[in-house]
Structure 1
Amino acid sequence: MAGYHTGYGNIIGQAIGARHSHLDNAGYSIDQENESFTKQEIVEKLIEEEINKKLKKEEAEEILEIYIKEIEKKFSYT
């Protein structure tokens, strides 16, 4: 198990997360909130975080692609 054993959030996050580290899913953070969550709530929070992180990555990639096209246009010598 990578990272710290902080509780159910970390364990479930490592089991279902697409990423590999305690820093790469919300499980560690959920465990550190010092609130009581059911296992179902933990899973829902982990999935929500995974979706949000994926969407942010896709948005960043789209913005980067737009910038690259603009730079290519600006410096195009044709």
Structure 2
Amino acid sequence: MARLAEAGIATARVNDLADVWQHEQLRARGRFVEVDTPGGPLELLAEPFAISEWSPGRRCIPALGEHDPAVVERTVGRGASSSST
């Protein structure tokens, strides 16, 4: 990193995920959100941007396989209708 800095190339330390969750500036700026999951609340890193008049809205994270029947129905339904035309 010293050689890069001497050459005028911007450098920065890369965090691992454990470091991200301990990052003081991210905490101070409120960049973490809590979402509901079937197993209880879970803290996630928020979107990398903020728009004052817009909020993405947060819903419960689906359980593993919760949407499988709907996905299969849509996939099979599309495949069947497109192959029969």
Do the structures match in fold with TM over 0.5?
Answer: no
Relative contact order, CA 8 A, sep 6+: which one is greater? 1
The answer to which structure has the higher strand fraction is 2
TM-score, structure 2 length as denominator? 0.31
TM-score, structure 1 length as denominator? 0.33
The answer to which structure has the higher helix fraction is 1
